[in-house]
Amino acid sequence: MSADAVRREVADWWATSISRIEPGVVELRGRPVQELIGSLSFPAMIWFLVRGDMPTPEQAALLEAALVASVDHGPQAPSIAAARMAATCGIGLNNAMATGVNLLGDVHGGAGEQCVELLTEVVSSGDAAATVTRWRARDRYLPGFGHRFHPVDPRRDPLLALVDAAAADGVVSGQYATAARAVEAELNRDRTRQIPMNIDGATAVIYAELGFPAPLARGLFVLSRSVGILAHAWEESRSGQRNKGPLPRSIRPTYRHSP
């Protein structure tokens, strides 16, 4: 292999269409960063960098609403609690944030991605009842519906109202919002105690309406929740407590004898 071929192979190793960095040059998706600073909102930048095109102001506003809605759910959320505990262990904010983010998996943090998959299946099949039956055969819990803490998630209705308004204005199709409501109706058929859509379902509607693939719904949730994780880790780091565990020192976990 010639020297030029070796250099080209090395240069192509991390080839990317996202950014070009040269001495004195920072370009993002072919746009000089100095053109973007002060003219592009952070949600629009997320869209631009991930997808490669520019959102309309209405699309960026809908994305921003979903990101704002998911920033925090208090220390009862494992990711927040873990970040707070980590912050008392003498590590930096980056480590505390990483601790919290690394807890965002399939069970805690993955429902939005799973709900996009569910709604996509409903839209493609046109049969919410059959889709609900298939999904509930695997798990009686449907991602994006019901909440262990809220009888009705207070974040749900404002987000759905924004989607409805965007659909009326032609910004989005509204088909995923329709699918979500159809799933909700099927899920609550003949039930006295309702199982309403939650924040994961409402944001899944927005991400699907905006054309984000299901895996990106989880990535966007991680970006959003990182704000709350940062705030809680910072607050806890300033408390002066050290090695703070999950329970007050006066409480001991129950010891169970082995059978």
Q: Mind listing the pLDDT tens digit for each residue in 28-42? A: 999 999 999 999 999
Q: Could you tell me the end-to-end alpha-carbon distance of the chain, in angstroms, rounded to an integer?
A: 67
Look at the block and give the residue holding tokens 């998959």: 117
Asked if residue 200 is part of any domain, the answer here is: yes
- Asked if 35 and 133 sit in the same domain, the reply is no
What are residue 21's phi and psi, to 5 degrees?
Answer: -120, 115
Quote the CA–CA distance of 247 and 214 in Å, as a whole number: 36
- Asked if 83 and 207 sit in the same domain, the reply is yes
Nearest to 129 by CA among 175, 200, 176, 185: 185
Q: In what order do the strands lie in the sheet with 31-32?
A: 19-22, 25-28, 31-32
Asked if residue 106 is part of any domain, the answer here is: yes
pLDDT tens digits, residue range 210-258?
999 999 999 999 999 999 999 999 999 999 899 998 888 889 889 888 8
How confident is the model at residue 153, as a pLDDT? 82
Nearest to 171 by CA among 71, 65, 68, 52: 65
Q: Which CATH number fits the domain that encloses residue 201?
A: 1.10.230.10
- Asked if 144 and 230 sit in the same domain, the reply is yes
- Asked if 109 and 30 sit in the same domain, the reply is no
Are the C-beta atoms of 107 and 220 separated by less than 8 Å?
Answer: no
How confident is the model at residue 194, as a pLDDT? 85
- Asked if 99 and 211 sit in the same domain, the reply is yes
Are the C-beta atoms of 200 and 144 separated by less than 8 Å?
Answer: yes
Asked if residue 175 is part of any domain, the answer here is: yes
Structure tokens at 64: 């921003």
- Chunk the chain into consecutive blocks of 10 residues (it has 259) and report each block's average pLDDT, rounded to whole numbers: 85 93 96 97 98 97 98 94 96 96 93 97 96 92 83 89 98 98 92 88 97 97 97 95 88 85
How confident is the model at residue 252, as a pLDDT? 87
Asked if residue 224 is part of any domain, the answer here is: yes
How confident is the model at residue 232, as a pLDDT? 97
What is the domain range of residue 228? Answer: 78-237
- How many structural domains is the chain composed of? 2
Quote the CA–CA distance of 102 and 234 in Å, as a whole number: 18
- Asked if 155 and 216 sit in the same domain, the reply is yes
- Asked if 208 and 92 sit in the same domain, the reply is yes
Asked if residue 31 is part of any domain, the answer here is: yes
Are the C-beta atoms of 29 and 17 separated by less than 8 Å?
Answer: yes
Task: Note the pTM of the prediction, 2 decimals.
Answer: 0.93
- Asked if 102 and 230 sit in the same domain, the reply is yes
